[in-house]
A and B are shown apart, each in its own frame.
Chain A
Amino acid sequence: MTEQTTSADQAEPTAEQQHFEHLLSEDSRVEPRDWMPEAYRKSLTRQVSQHAHSEIIGMQPEANWITRAPSLKRKAVLMAKVQDEAGHGLYLYSAAETLGTPRSVLNEQLLSGKAKYSSIFNYPARTWADMGAIGWLVDGAAICNQVPLCRASYGPYGRAMVRICKEESFHQRQGWEILYELSHGTEAQKQMAQDAVNRFYGPALQMFGPPDADSPNSQQSMEWNIKRFSNDELRQRFVDMIVPQAEALGLTLPDPDLKWNEERGHYDYGQLDWNEFMSVIKGSGPCNVQRMKRRREAHANGAWVREAAEAYAQRQAREAAEVEAAASSPEAAVAIDETTVMAGRGSAELIGA
């Protein structure tokens, strides 16, 4: 289900190149076994795997609050959400693998720090209200970004995104509801909610990436029908959505320049701190080191589980082979109790080992 070797781009378009271009011009889908330009394959592998890494690292800020969730209900919800993030990571890794890079390589790229993940997860989750702000703003921005990706030209990526988007809407709503409860609670609770929104607003808006003028790869990505809207278009769409949502919460957004622009039919918003964004991407965010350390520890701590699963699978295979061998020998066949064969057990006694 994976790779297909490709020839380098040549001056004259080959039949396969023409077929690829035709698929794009028809707004059709490219599937794993189709020919595709090396640059398309490489760019998608990077995007899809970074997306997967983001889901995996993204479990950390919230997993951090599972043991301190304020009620059993909130705890169950948070666990389900973190489990979903793990699932989203796996859907995306499986899509990325269809482009030909094995899972072990993708995993190694994350653990070695070679691969990037979304910079939003390098911010700490300081209070319970952050669970609300992350769900509402971070997952909200992610949905805004991901809905158009459901139509991405690469089939497996688009299909993974459809599945993910269905699940994300619960994430965003539960976050909004956490903030709603807090903003309608005591003064201190409302303050906590406001503080969380203040800290996540800017970073959430930056999740759409740099302004269009500073996003050199966007154009190519749009020509390939992977990206459907520019960073700034999506950011604007998100701002327009969250302003009334914040009003419904009774909270404010920390942006003095935020106001309705009658002429444009959109909300204007202030400058974002792109120096901070670049510095977080380059590794100097508040939690970059902690997130990577935790990820490596989790991988190392899981080694015994992987080894045990491996050993178990080998033993099962060995025992099944023994039972089969015993069953096919005429003397043993008489002695074998059907149920032990079915259960794949008891073969050692039967063959006198």
Chain B
Amino acid sequence: MSENQNGNWPLWEVFVRSSRGLSHVHAGSLHAPDATMAVRNARDLYTRRNEGTSVWVVPADAITASDPDSKGGYFESAQGKSYRHATYYTKSEGVKHL
């Protein structure tokens, strides 16, 4: 993982699990020469006040993201499909436990 081009160590994205039972959430990023040091630095940088019970680091360039420019087209398939939500069905109003 270590590559020191222009004095830049690889960039790692940091994810912190704030407590058991919750998901890891993106906290920020940092530079480190390898994964072990990235985890250690992430602990010092992002969990100085008991913010976490677990930390993940992921090489930033290993993340594949959806294209922000195609936002509309990519995500609109769920639009207009309100029948996927319970609130779409109204006949049962007033009937208990339904």
Q: Which residues in chain A, 42-94, are within 8 Å of chain B measured between CB atoms?
A: 80, 83-84, 87, 90-91, 94
A75 to B41 alpha-carbon distance, docked (Å)? 23
Please tell me if the beta carbons of A313 and B68 are within 8 angstroms of each other in the complex: no
Give, as a whole number of angstroms, the nearest-CB distance from B52 to chain A: 13
Please tell me if the beta carbons of A87 and B45 are within 8 angstroms of each other in the complex: yes
A79 to B46 alpha-carbon distance, docked (Å)? 17
Please tell me if the beta carbons of A313 and B37 are within 8 angstroms of each other in the complex: yes
Give, as a whole number of angstroms, the nearest-CB distance from B16 to chain A: 11
Our pick among A94, A103, A310, A316 for the contact of B4 (Cβ within 8 Å) is A310
Our pick among A84, A107, A317 for the contact of B34 (Cβ within 8 Å) is A317
Does chain A have a CB within 8 A of B48?
Answer: yes
Please tell me if the beta carbons of B68 and A34 are within 8 angstroms of each other in the complex: yes
Our pick among B29, B34, B67 for the contact of A313 (Cβ within 8 Å) is B34
Please tell me if the beta carbons of A91 and B28 are within 8 angstroms of each other in the complex: yes
Our pick among A1, A107, A160, A317 for the contact of B2 (Cβ within 8 Å) is A317
Q: Which residues in chain A, 1-26, are within 8 Å of chain B measured between CB atoms?
A: 1-2, 16
Our pick among A33, A97, A105, A163 for the contact of B11 (Cβ within 8 Å) is A97
Our pick among A31, A34, A94 for the contact of B30 (Cβ within 8 Å) is A94
Does chain A have a CB within 8 A of B65?
Answer: yes
Q: Which residues in chain B, 2-30, are within 8 Å of chain A measured between CB atoms?
A: 2, 4, 6-9, 11, 13, 28-30
Please tell me if the beta carbons of A90 and B30 are within 8 angstroms of each other in the complex: yes
Q: Which residues of A contact B92 (CB under 8 A)?
A: none
Give, as a whole number of angstroms, the nearest-CB distance from B74 to chain A: 13
Q: Which residues of A contact B67 (CB under 8 A)?
A: 33
Please tell me if the beta carbons of B45 and A102 are within 8 angstroms of each other in the complex: no
A-to-B contact residues, CB < 8 Å: 1-2, 16, 31, 33-35, 80, 83-84, 87, 90-91, 94-95, 97-98, 102-105, 107, 159-160, 163, 167, 309-310, 312-314, 316-317
Given contacts A1-B29, A87-B48, 10 further A-B contacts (CB under 8 A): A31-B68, A33-B65, A35-B69, A87-B45, A91-B28, A95-B28, A97-B29, A313-B2, A317-B1, A317-B2
Q: List 15 A-B contacts (CB under 8 A).
A: A1-B11, A2-B60, A83-B48, A87-B44, A91-B28, A94-B28, A102-B8, A105-B6, A107-B7, A163-B28, A309-B32, A309-B33, A310-B9, A312-B33, A314-B2
